[in-house]
Structure 1
Amino acid sequence: MQLETEKSKIRLEALAKTLTDAIELQKKTQQLSLSEVAERARRMTELAQLLRDKMIEPMPKKAAPRFTAGQLAEICGFDRNRLNYLIRKDEALPKGSKKGNSRDFSLEEVYLWVAAVRPPTPRPSEAKAPVLAVSNLKGGSTKTTTTMCLAQGLALKGRKVLIIDLDPQASLTELCGIYADIEVDLDETIGGFFSSYLEDTPMESIKPIIKESYWKNISVVPACTAMLGSDFNFPLISRKRPTKQIWTLLREGLEGVRHDFDYILLDTAPSISYTTVNAIMASDTLIQPLVPDSLDFISSIQFWSLFADLTEMFQEHEGNKGFDMIKVLLTKVNYNSEAALIVKEWAKLSYKDWLLDIEIPASAAASSGALSMNTVYDQMSGNEDASKRTIDRLRQPFNELCSMVDSFYSAKWMTV
């Protein structure tokens, strides 16, 4: 293992030097040929692969975390004393693994505890899973992180969740421990599902492209960079199938799996594309993460302006379309920034009841987790230090977001 690490280090240094030399050459010539661009791109891809290998070892497997007794008690909604009592008295409940004076529990054991002591309101068999789209035109607004944390938090409440990566950057796919450019082909993605409508026999349901993730009770439809060209197929689909409403393809593809899950979450690309329009028209709830920065705020307003234009285009065909909820979630909030506080006030004036009271604070600890392709739910294990306590605090607003969503739909299911 040490030898392999040394080899990787040498390879990284060599690739980095090659890239540096190429940049210096470009400075001298002031022009890059197509072949030079292609060569640099190839080396950058190799460098990214090596960096990823260092972030997720062994590649490509990613494992669910283990949970401390305190975290299990919090998930179950009671204190440590109650947990310790149940461990002693209830033989049916998992005891976890004891290490010295402490215990920890696997994800599967946590699910058994939740099912026994805090079971969720069951989704009626006739009720379809609600579809939640997380969308914003601006990159870096934590759409992907929000989607994954929603999935993990809802799963910890005993829910079965499907997440769908609609972004060719495939960041959500990578968060699931799947190396998109190596492990995923286009026909295993939503892009492939859409493209199948150019064939004589289209796929019609997304069921064949659903994969299991490293986190039990979370399934995923992955993405890959080959999806970049998928949107160009929609005019061709419309020409081949003139009676088909191309903005409904995803909604129709979800129908066959909406009884298999409790929630379906869509992570969209930062653009208004045919794919994003499909996501919006398929969704029951829209969640827009918003960083309280002036450019992000203006971008969010542009999103809703474009959304208004879309509604005019589809009103004739989608007159009955409605949403259970539309919510704006402030993320990366820097409470020491006067500008951020000003933009928060703009958001309150603009979005009114759409703006959630829940806020996700900015944090260096969360950013370091992102570097290792982990969310705050992946970082449950570890020593009780300042960084871990910070992660625990960051997890709290996501817990509140998941509780808000699940409480809303639990109440709705009780009326079915």
Structure 2
Amino acid sequence: MFTNVKMSDLDSMASNAADVLSQVREAMIEPHPRKLAPTFNSAAIAELCNVDKSKIKYLTLKHELPQGTKSEGSKAKEYSLEETITWVKNIGTYPKRPEHKEGRVVAVCNYKGGVAKTSTTVSIAQAATLRGLKVLILDCDGQGTATQLCGISPEQDVDVEDTIMPYIYGDQPNLWYAIQQTYWHNMFVIPASSGLLSAEFVLPAKAMEQRGFKFWEVLKDGIEPLRKEFDLILIDTSPSLSHLTVNSMIAADGLIMPCPPDALDFASSVQFWGIFSELTDSLPDAKDKVYDFITVVYTKVQNNEISRLVKTWMSQAYGSCVNGIEIPESTAARTASAQLKTIYDLSRPDGSVEAYKRYKEPLDKLADFVVDQLALAWRN
């Protein structure tokens, strides 16, 4: 524990911590580019496309699909992520966006950190690409954790000009300039850095200077042109009800709140919704907004009496907004996180197969839920 701490001591600590993190990153994610997409076997292809594995060879020839490659000394074929997505698009039965329809925006939000908000956001994005969709992640959290999971270092690779801030300042007409390709095929990101904190001063300052300035709709306007390019735009918000979080929720067509069934997390979630509801009372036209869906997802679920009790409270509080999907507290999640990865980054289980499946299956269900909501919106 530090005592009599001077600002210079904090400067030294911050600098040393940054050096250590840089060394850890380089050790874990070499070679450049920092992250590599996973590969898939024939069984995974068959499961994603909902076909019998024995038909893979026939379908390869019939539809002229990627044949995969055999590793030296192995009889099994491996398919790249791009090849896998090609299979899904040609053979899979997932909904496709009609040409005359626009993509939908989903914000993932919670008042608290540590609820698996960012890992859930990126996992949904990855799973959605494996269902044939083109996805953009918009990182609105100054910590840049979603950016990090997309293989981009917020400290080393992201200048403030690469974030949403030039648009917030009014130097760009929309957010097209900030889109970056990631290591994951069909998944793009608008990265974040600590420079996003400036938005909390810029937006209210503009509201004071410009009469009628709708500070809560700035992000909505910047995203609008991007809807024609992307099937799904996922916004990862900061663990607060900041100006950017409010903008994200107003810009979104759907809201997802990951929330552990823990008494303090539940109480925090109630406070979050209450403040947001009160805030929208004071924003012109905000109360007229209609969401495609709002859903509360149980995350970090533990198999104990307290968890079961709090789930009962949450079910009573949120009713049909609780979709019943339970993402467990998992060693598989912690193992992936320690490598700056999600469960979808792993080509095969890293540890217990049971733990891997137990964690991944509800995430697959959540991705299917989101894709189903997109399909419903596109039909209307």
TM-score (norm. length: structure 1): 0.87
SS in 2 for 1:169: coil
Cα displacement (A) at 1:357: 1.5
Please tell me the residue identity of whatever aligns with 1:286. Answer: L
Q: Structure 2 CA distance, aligned partners of 1:149 and 1:404?
A: 13
Q: Is the 8 A contact 2:137 2:233 kept in 1?
A: yes
Return the alpha-carbon distance in structure 2 between the equivalents of residues 414 and 44 of structure 1: 50
Residue identity opposite 1:318 in structure 2: A
Aligned positions of 1:69-88 closer than 5 A: 69-87=42-60
Residue segments in structure 2 that go unaligned for 5+ positions in a row? none
Partner of 2:306: 339
By how many angstroms is 1:46 displaced?
1.1
Q: CA deviation at 1:93?
A: 1.7
Greater Cα radius of gyration, structure 1 or 2:
1
Question: Which residue is 1:18 aligned to?
Answer: none
Query: Which segment drifts farther, 234-243 or 295-304?
Result: 234-243
The answer as to whether partners of 1:187 and 1:193 remain within 8 angstroms in 2 is: no
RMSD value over aligned CA atoms? 1.7
Per the alignment, do residues 389 and 104 of structure 1 end up closer, same or farther by CA in structure 2, a change over 3 Å counting? farther
- Code of the residue aligned with 1:269 in structure 2: it is S
Partner of 1:4: none
Paired position in structure 1 for 2:98: 124
Q: 1:272 aligns with which of 221, 231, 241?
A: 241
- Alpha-carbon contact 1:191-1:230 (below 8 Å) kept: yes
Q: Indicate if the aligned counterparts of 2:65 and 2:86 stay in contact, CA closer than 8 A.
A: yes
SS at match of 1:219: strand
Structure 1, 185-194 or 154-163: larger mean CA deviation: 185-194
- Is 1:387 aligned to residue 356 of structure 2? no
For structure 1, the residue ranges without an aligned partner over 5 or more in a row are: 1-22
Indicate the SS of the match to 2:296. Answer: strand
User: Which one-letter code corresponds to 2:220 in the other structure?
Assistant: R
Cα distance 1:327–1:396, how it changes in 2: closer, same or farther (>3 A)? same
1:14 — aligned with what? none
Contact 1:204 1:252 (8 Å CA) reproduced: no
Return the alpha-carbon distance in structure 2 between the equivalents of residues 84 and 400 of structure 1.
Answer: 28
2:9 corresponds, among 15, 20, 36, to 36
Residue in 1 aligned with 2:374?
Answer: 409
Contact 1:143 1:289 in 2 (8 A): yes
Per-residue deviation at 1:223?
0.2
Cα deviation for residue 414 of structure 1 reads 3.0
CA deviations 1:175-230 (Å, max 9, x no partner) are 01101111111121123321x23xxxx31200001111111111100001122232
Q: Deviations over 1:44-95 (max 9, x none)?
A: 11112112222211255211100121111111112322334434x5361211
One-letter amino acid matched to 2:232: Y
Alignment of 1:243-258 (within 5 A): 243-258=212-227
Asked if 1:92 corresponds to 2:57, the answer is no
Partner residue, 1:362: 329
Percentage identity across paired residues of the two chains: 36
What is the alpha-carbon distance in structure 1 between the residues aligned to residue 146 and residue 325 of structure 2? 23
SS in 1 for 2:324: strand
What is the aligned partner in structure 2 of residue 377 from structure 1?
Answer: 344
TM-aligned CA deviation for residue 105 of structure 1: 0.7
* Cα distance in 2 between the residues matched to 1:388 and 1:139: 28
**Aligned pair in 2 of structure 1 residues 60, 103: CA closer, same or farther (>3 Å)?**
closer
Cα distance in 1, alignment partners of residues 149 and 354 from structure 2: 22
Does the 8 Å CA contact 1:60/1:178 hold for their aligned counterparts? no
CA contact (8 A) 1:60 1:179 kept: no
Q: Is 1:54 aligned to 2:27, yes or no? A: yes
* TM-score (ref. length: structure 2): 0.95
Cα distance, 1:157 vs structure 2: 0.7
Alignment of 1:171-320 (within 5 A): 171-194=145-168, 196-197=169-170, 202-314=171-283, 316-320=284-288
**1:78-124, CA deviations, whole angstroms, 9 ceiling, x for partnerless residues?**
2322334434x536121111242311110111112112211543322
CA pair 262-91 structure 1, distance change in 2 beyond 3 A: closer
